[in-house]
Each structure stands twice: as C-alpha cells, then as structure tokens.
C-alpha cells in the first residue's frame, strides 16, 4: 500500500497554497468614481487586471479584487492612470 502522502503534491485549485491574502499589510481600495470602466460603463482600460501578478483582479464593471488572495503588492495602484486605487494599511479605515 503506497502512502498517498509519500511526497508533497496537490491538485491545481484556488487556495492550494493557503489564503495568501493574509500575507498582505497594504490593501488596495478602489474609488469607482475615478475608475474608467465604471465611469464610462464600458469594458475599457483594465490595466490593473492586466498588470496584477497574482491574477486576483476581475475585468468586470465594476472591477473586483479578490482580497482572499491579493498579497498587497500595490502594482495595480501604481499602474492605474486615473489614480483610482489607493493602498491602505491593513487595520485602518478605507480611504
């Protein structure tokens, strides 16, 4: 009988490496009144979605960030041409 746990392995699935959002100490907060897709109600811009290295931003209207897995790197805030994303320290009030 071979031990199923003889070496480390898992099936590819969200969360197989844990909820990596808890690594974060800065949280992205979107001001939708400045965000192009929301303001124009058109699928446009989405640079945050394009640049996010974790793939946790959805190109929807409004744009959504999955905070379960966002590590808080701040690239989305850096790249947003409208300045619609602010990085807020965890534990503090939004904006």
Partner 1 sequence: MDNVQILTGNQAAALGAKLCQVQVVSAYPITPQTSLTEVLSHYIEGGELQAEYVRVESEHSAMTVCIAASTAGARVFTSTSSHGLLYMHEQLHWAAGSRLPIVMCCINRGVGAPWSIFNDQQDSIAQRDTGWIQIYCRDNQEIIDTVIQAYRIAEAVYVPVMVCYDGFVLSHTTMPVRIPDERDVRAFLPSYQPHTILNSQEPRNINPVIFPWRRMDAEGCLRDGYMELRYKLQKALEEAKPVIGKACSDYTAIFGRVHEGLFWRYRLDDADALLIGMGSLATEATMAVDRLREQGVKAGVLGVRLYRPFPREEIKNCIGQRKALLIFEKDISYGYEGALCSDVKAALYGSEVKAPVHNFICGLGGRDVKAEELADAVKTSLKMIGAGNLKQQTIWLNCRTEKSNDGQSF
Q: Contact residues for partner 1 (CB under 8 A)?
A: 2-3, 5-18
Lookup result for tokens 């699935």: 13
Please give the Cα distance from 69 to 55 (Å, whole number). Answer: 9
Q: How far is the CB of 14 from partner 1 (least distance, A)?
A: 7
Nearer to partner 1 by Cβ, of 55 and 81: the residue is 55
Rounded Cα gap, residues 57 and 42, in angstroms: 17
Question: In the bound complex, what is the minimum distance in angstroms from residue 51's beta carbon to partner 1?
Answer: 23
For residue 18, the minimal CB distance to partner 1 (Å) is: 6
Q: Which CB sits closer to partner 1, 17 or 91?
A: 17
The residue (of 18 and 43) whose beta carbon lies closer to partner 1 is: 18
**Both tokens assigned to 85:** 């994303």
How many other CB atoms are found less than 10 A from the CB of residue 71?
15
Q: Which residues pair with 89 in a beta bridge?
A: 26
């Amino acid at each position: 009988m071979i031990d199923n746990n003889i070496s480390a392995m898992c099936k590819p699935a969200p969360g197989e490496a844990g909820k990596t959002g808890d690594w974060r100490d800065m949280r992205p907060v979107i001001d939708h009144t400045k965000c192009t897709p929301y303001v124009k109600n058109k699928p446009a811009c989405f640079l945050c979605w394009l640049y996010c290295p974790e793939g946790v931003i959805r190109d929807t209207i409004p744009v959504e960030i999955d905070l379960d897995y966002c590590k808080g790197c701040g690239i989305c805030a850096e790249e947003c041409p409208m300045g619609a994303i602010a990085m807020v320290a965890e534990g503090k009030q939004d904006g």
